[in-house]
Each structure stands twice: as C-alpha cells, then as structure tokens.
C-alpha cells in the first residue's frame, strides 16, 4: 500500500540532501573568498597600525593603535572578526572617497552591469547564430572564417582595442560619443531610478539624454560584445557539432523534416541549456574584461573604481571591489549549476 | 623487411624496427598533420619570430631602446624610425623588439611556475584522495572563483608594482586549472595495472607519483600551457597597461600603450603599434595552441 510513497519520500530526502550540500558548499566557497582577501591584506608589507600613528609615535601610542585595530589578537580571531564585518556588509572605509566601500561599490555596480549586460546581449544575438552556422558548415570556408574571427577575439588586448576604436570611431569619424557614461549636459538631469542611465533616461522620457547615453554605451559595449561573441560562438559551435551527429538528427532528416527545422528547432533546442550556461559564464568573464575597458573609456563602474583605488593605495577599496566581483562570479557559477539541475532531466 | 630508401619512407613505415623509429614515425605523422593546418603554421611562424626577435634583440635593434632624443620626439613612422618615436624621442620599433624579451620572460617564468605547482597539487590530491583531496580541491576552487585579472590586481596592489610581482601574481592565479587537470588524469591512472603492480612491489608513494603517474600528466599539461600562453600575455599586458607590471623606462608593451594614451588622437602610432605587437603575439600562441590541440585530440580519439 505504501509502496508508491516510499520512493517519493526517498526522492525528497535526496533532493533535500542535494540542496543542503549545495548551500553548504556555496557558503564554504564564499568563506574561502573572504579568506583569500583576508590573506592578501595580511601579506601587505605595510604595518597598518604604523600607518595610522605615523613613525614618530611613542611605542605606547603604537601599541594602543594595534589594540584598537585588533592587530594584537591571534590571526584566527582577526579572521573571524573580518568575516563578521564582511557578513554585515562592512568592507571598511575607502581612503580615496572617504565613504563606505560597500556604498561606493554599490554606486559603481549598475554602470558595470549596464555595460556587461549590453555586451552579453550583443554576444548572444551574434554568437549563437554564428556558432550554429559554423557547426552546420563544419570544415568549410565559413567555419574557418568563424574560427579565425573568434580566435582573434580571444587574442585582442581589450584595452588596446578600446583605444583603437576610440581613435577611429570617436576621434576620426565622430560617429559616437567619447569616454564617460553620459554627456555633462545630461549628467544631473536624468533621474536615478534603475541605475542604468540609458533606461532611466528612457523611463523619464528624455530622448536626447537617452540618445546621448546610448552613444556613449555603444562603443565599449561592442568591444566587450566582440569578446563575448567569440566565446559564445565557439562554444555553441562545438555543442552543435556534437548534437548534429546524433541519430535523431539523421532520423528527422530521413523522414523529410526541413533542414532549418532540424537545425534551429531540434538540435539548437537540445543544446539550449549548455548554451545558456556558456552565456552566463561569459557574462561573469565580462566583469573581468570590464576592468580594462572601463579604464580606457572612463566608464564609472566597479573596474574603474578598483583601478583608481589601486593608484591611491586604497587597500580597503581594492579588496572590497575584488571581493564583490568574486562573490558575483561564484553566484553566477553556482546559478548555472542550479539551472542545469532544474532544466536537465538527466541530472535531476 | 624493406630497407628504407628515403627518410620519408623510413618515417612512414607501418612496421617500425625499433622503438626510436616508431616514436619518430608517430611524431612525423603528428607533425605533417599539424603542417596541413595553415592557421596553425601561421601561429608557429609568429611564435618562432617572437623567440628569434627576443634572442637577437641586442644585435638587430636599430637604436638604443632607452636612449631619449627630445629633438625627434613623437616623429611619425618613417624610413629612419619604422614605428615612429615616443614622447621622449625613443625609437618605438627598437622598444617593441626589446619588449619581446620582457613578454617572453613573463610567459616562460609563469609557465615554469604554474605547470609544476599545479601538477604537484593535482597529482597528490588525486592519488591520496580523501580529506587531503577535499582540502586541496577546495583551495583550488576558491582561487578559481576569482576572475584571474582581478585577483592578480589585488595581489600586485599589496606586493607592489614590478615585473617579479606581476609574474608571482599571475602564477598565483594560474595554477588551479593545472591542478584540476592533473587530478583528473591521476584518478584515471591510480588503479591501472602498472601502478598497482608497482605498489605491490613496495614502491613508495613518492616513487609512484614521480615515476609512474606524473609522466602521463605531462602531455596534457603542456598542451594546456600552450593554450594558456595567450591568456598569460594578455593579463601581463593588462597589468602593464595599468602601470603594475614592468616599471618605466623598461620597454614593456602594455606600459608602452599606456604611455601613448595621452597622444592617441594626434600621434596614433605611439599607443597602437606596441598594442598591435601584443595582439599579434597572443594570436600566434592561440593559433599554435589551437592547431596543437586539434592534432593531439585526434590522436586521442
């Protein structure tokens, strides 16, 4: 009688176990990230207490500063204190801006997100079809061209590409706006709603401001977009090649299903989950590429924040920014794992 | 028992008479397959040019890469200065040639650091398994969780800018991929007959790891290193561009691009030509690695 409920409860138990394990490993990885930034801060050759009191201070004052900063505590205790403050959102104060690092990074984050999302959009719209076409025409001229173009995308120093693009499209041709996120004229007129300047301007109905913001966004977005197109196209190609060699493709073709349906609906439909994973991972990678791109385009995002903090030796800001990007990276990675679990019945 | 009439016959025989001939024949086939891929050959040519340029730089540079000459500053490319001159009148072509040594040095140093370190960690984790494996792979996963350039930035931020620190930072962020690779290989080797036989004969774990397992991990590590070279060059150039790599006046390509930024609009050659060198060299490594992988993959399959 109870036969049918038995496997279900066991499935539930194994599901709960998997979920618990997922959460535990996520927390452990995040703790590991915090440990890495903590250790980086510890290898710093400068003594933070000495910086605070100056090298002419009396030994007593120095000692007091060490105690105030908790530097006299054992290392594991200092780490626990650090974890506690990070967990409550306290990343310290930035020397450069004089504000809380978390507040600073949250202010810069939408700009990076806007850029990375725009680039991912370009990469998806171009990369997936290009990858499919290369897979279909495998070994032919089209395939070789796609391969070369994506290898070039892997090989370009992104800061250099940014400078060359600025030189050509901004300085010479004048097709786009130059560095920055929006012209000074519109800087204070666009209300802050979503944090994405382009969308804010559109929502406020300020068409001129929106056009200006778009004109600022398009060049850096295309540059990062090229890189993500290269990644996405290459991965889509190899996924599609594997899929197109399956027997069901042959069967569908044999019974007269149009080639386009087989390729774009059957085969692409079956690789959609891994393709979405690749897109997510590319997006995570763009957070990294954004550091150099933002520096070149004076784009006020997280990357520019970190590099500026580097030059003013603002360690809290550098480590805080690093940690935020690391956390995003981990969450995106784990998010794709979850995606697999939800959509791929073989793993479920 | 056909006697080899020419080298090609000897190399393409289907019944090698010695181990050496067999190996050489296999190598020759791999090589010809590699040479049939025009893109891979381009990559090989670029890398060979880079190595030659770096080796011969002291003899072939037309000017001293550090000699300033304010009289001819920011001169456009010409017959005298092929790539023009920078804001201190230094010959950019000479500096690019000289910079190939910096680039090559970084790539080689990082490679000889991350290959062995990653392999050691992966082999040990895979062979002993259990808690040690979990701890080592946990560390690997955590380091991998950071984007490489960002983690390298953070390390250089505390270590201080400079070529050595840039190499250390890139190496610290680079080893995890090799640890994973070597671990996977070790797991598949651990229970193979020849390893079990060695263990039964009383070979120490150290001996097994060094003599029986590590040699089988080396080919895949080397292929992976070739594919990684371009990435290393780009990260190093990125650090140089941000002023965290080799310090001026040393001619480092990334730093040279940064130096030319201020003159970008009027004097395009100062920033763009050294950057083009970065691009060509990293493309070369990518093409080479890609062709390399094709050949190796097909042999495995």
CB A314 within 8 A of CB A91: no
Residue B37 contacts A, CB cutoff 8 Å: no
Residue B145 contacts A, CB cutoff 8 Å: yes
Confidence of residue B124 (pLDDT cuts 50, 70, 90): very high
Comparing CB atoms, the residue among B157, B238, B261 nearest residue A318 is: B157
Residue A167 contacts B, CB cutoff 8 Å: yes
- CB–CB contact B147 A44 (8 Å): no
Query: Whole-angstrom Cα distance, residue A175 to residue B254?
Result: 27
**Min CA distance, B218 vs chain A (Å)?**
25
Q: Give the tokens for residue A22.
A: 């997922």
Residue partners of A23: CB distance under 8 A and separation at least 6:
none
**Counting Cβ atoms within 10 Å, is residue A8 exposed (0-12), middle (13-18) or buried (19+)?**
exposed
Write out chain A residues lying below 8 Å of B153, CB-based: 291, 306-307, 310, 318, 322
Q: So what's the pLDDT on residue A52?
A: 64
Cβ neighbour number for residue A287 with a 10 Å cutoff: 24
Residues 105-164 of A with CB under 8 A from B: 144, 147-148, 151-152, 154-160, 163-164
- CB–CB contact A326 B261 (8 Å): no
Check residue B84 and give left, alpha or beta (phi > 0: left; psi -120 to 50: alpha). Answer: left
- CB–CB contact A36 B143 (8 Å): yes
Comparing CB atoms, the residue among A40, A148, A284 nearest residue B39 is: A148
pLDDT of A115 strictly over 50: yes
Q: Which ipTM value was assigned to this complex?
A: 0.84
* Torsion on CA atoms A133, A138, A142, A148, rounded to nearest 10: 100
- Segment B258-296, tens digit of pLDDT: 888 888 888 888 888 999 999 999 999 998 888 887 777
Residue A326 contacts B, CB cutoff 8 Å: yes
- Segment B53-106, tens digit of pLDDT: 888 888 888 878 877 777 777 778 887 878 888 888 788 888 888 889 999 999
Residues 246-305 of A with CB under 8 A from B: 284-285, 287-288, 291-292, 295
Cβ neighbour number for residue B76 with a 10 Å cutoff: 12
Write out chain A residues lying below 8 Å of B158, CB-based: 40-41, 43-45, 315
- Segment A21-30, tens digit of pLDDT: 888 888 888 8
CB B134 within 8 A of CB B142: no
Q: So what's the pLDDT on residue B138?
A: 85
pLDDT of A345 strictly over 70: no
Average pLDDT over residues A49-71: 73
pLDDT of A155 strictly over 50: yes
Write out chain B residues lying below 8 Å of A154, CB-based: 230, 282, 286
Confidence of residue B301 (pLDDT cuts 50, 70, 90): very low
**Min CA distance, B91 vs chain A (Å)?**
20
Residues 241-300 of B with CB under 8 A from A: 241-244, 254, 257, 261, 264-265, 268, 271-272, 275-276, 278-279, 282-283, 285-287, 290
Q: Is the preceding peptide bond at B249 cis, omega within 30 degrees of 0?
A: yes
**Min CA distance, A348 vs chain B (Å)?**
23
CB A157 within 8 A of CB B282: yes
Q: So what's the pLDDT on residue B178?
A: 92
- CB–CB contact A159 B138 (8 Å): no
Write out chain B residues lying below 8 Å of A329, CB-based: 145-147
Residue B198 contacts A, CB cutoff 8 Å: no
Size of interface A-B (CB pairs under 8 A): 144
Q: So what's the pLDDT on residue A245?
A: 85
Top pLDDT among B158 and B122 is at B122
CB B283 within 8 A of CB B46: yes
Q: What is the mean pLDDT of chain B?
A: 85
pTM of the model: 0.85
pLDDT of A288 strictly over 70: yes
Q: So what's the pLDDT on residue B149?
A: 86
Confidence of residue B123 (pLDDT cuts 50, 70, 90): very high
- Segment A77-108, tens digit of pLDDT: 888 888 888 888 778 777 777 788 888 888 88
Q: So what's the pLDDT on residue B5?
A: 64
- Segment B130-183, tens digit of pLDDT: 899 988 988 888 888 788 888 888 888 788 888 888 999 999 989 999 999 999
| pLDDT above 70 coverage of chain A, percent | 92
Least confident of A22-31, A43-52, A73-82: A43-52
Half-sphere exposure for B173 (CA within 13 Å, toward CB)? 24
């Amino acid at each position: 009688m109870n036969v049918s409920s038995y496997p279900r409860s066991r499935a539930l138990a194994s599901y709960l176990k998997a979920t618990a394990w997922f959460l535990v490993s996520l927390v452990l990885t995040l703790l590991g990230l915090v440990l890495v930034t903590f250790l980086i801060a510890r290898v710093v050759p400068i003594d933070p207490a000495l910086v605070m009191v100056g090298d002419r201070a009396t030994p007593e004052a120095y000692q007091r500063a060490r105690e105030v900063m908790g530097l006299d505590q054992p290392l594991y205790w200092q780490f626990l204190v650090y974890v506690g403050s990070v967990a409550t959102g306290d990343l310290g104060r930035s020397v450069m801006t004089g504000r809380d690092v978390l507040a600073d990074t949250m202010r810069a984050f939408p700009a990076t997100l806007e850029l990375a999302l725009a680039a991912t959009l370009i990469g998806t719209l171009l990369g997936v079809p290009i990858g499919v076409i290369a897979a279909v025409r495998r070994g032919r001229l089209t395939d070789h061209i796609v391969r070369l173009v994506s290898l070039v995308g892997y090989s370009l120093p992104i800061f250099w590409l940014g400078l060359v693009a600025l030189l050509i499209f901004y300085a010479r041709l004048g097709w786009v706006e130059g560095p920055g996120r929006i012209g000074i004229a519109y800087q204070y007129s666009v209300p802050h709603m979503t944090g994405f300047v382009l969308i804010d301007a559109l929502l406020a109905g300020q068409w001129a401001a929106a056009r200006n913001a778009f004109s600022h966004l398009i060049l850096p977005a295309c540059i990062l977009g090229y890189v993500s197109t290269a990644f996405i196209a290459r991965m889509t190609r190899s996924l599609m090649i594997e899929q197109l060699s399956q027997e069901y493709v042959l069967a569908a073709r044999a019974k007269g299903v149009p080639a386009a349906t087989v390729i774009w609906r059957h085969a692409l439909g079956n690789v959609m989950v891994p393709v979405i994973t690749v897109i997510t991972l590319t997006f995570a990678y763009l957070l990294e590429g954004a550091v150099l791109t933002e520096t070149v385009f004076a784009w006020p995002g997280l990357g520019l924040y970190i590099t500026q903090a580097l030059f003013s030796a603002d360690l809290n800001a550098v480590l805080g920014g690093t940690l935020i990007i690391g956390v995003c990276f981990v969450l995106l990675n784990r998010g794709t794992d979850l995606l697999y679990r939800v959509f791929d019945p073989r793993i479920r | 028992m056909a006697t080899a009439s020419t080298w090609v016959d000897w190399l393409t025989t289907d019944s090698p008479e010695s181990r050496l001939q067999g190996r050489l024949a296999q190598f020759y086939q791999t090589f010809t397959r590699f040479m049939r891929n025009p893109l891979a050959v381009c990559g090989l040519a670029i890398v060979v040019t880079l190595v030659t340029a770096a080796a011969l730089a002291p003899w072939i540079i037309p000017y001293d890469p550090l000699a300033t000459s304010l009289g001819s500053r920011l001169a456009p490319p010409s017959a005298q200065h092929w790539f023009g001159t920078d804001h201190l009148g230094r010959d950019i072509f000479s500096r690019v040639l000289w910079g190939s040594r910096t680039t090559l040095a970084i790539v080689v140093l990082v490679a000889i650091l991350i290959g062995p370190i990653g392999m050691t960690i992966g082999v040990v984790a895979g062979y002993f398994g259990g808690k040690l494996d979990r701890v080592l792979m946990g560390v690997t996963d955590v380091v991998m969780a950071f984007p490489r350039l960002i983690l390298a930035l953070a390390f250089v931020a505390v270590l201080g800018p400079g070529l050595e620190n840039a190499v250390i930072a890139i190496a610290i962020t680079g080893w995890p991929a090799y640890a994973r690779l070597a671990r996977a290989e070790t797991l598949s080797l651990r229970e193979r007959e020849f390893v079990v036989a060695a263990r039964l004969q009383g070979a120490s774990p150290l001996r097994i790891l060094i003599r029986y397992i590590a040699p089988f991990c080396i080919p895949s590590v080397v292929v992976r290193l070739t594919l990684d070279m371009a990435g290393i060059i780009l990260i190093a150039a990125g650090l140089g561009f941000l002023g965290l790599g080799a310090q001026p006046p040393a001619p480092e390509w990334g730093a040279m691009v940064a130096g030319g930024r201020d003159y970008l609009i009027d004097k395009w050659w100062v920033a763009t030509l050294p950057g083009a060198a970065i691009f060509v060299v990293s493309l070369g490594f990518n093409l080479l690695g890609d062709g390399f992988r094709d050949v190796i993959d097909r042999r495995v399959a």
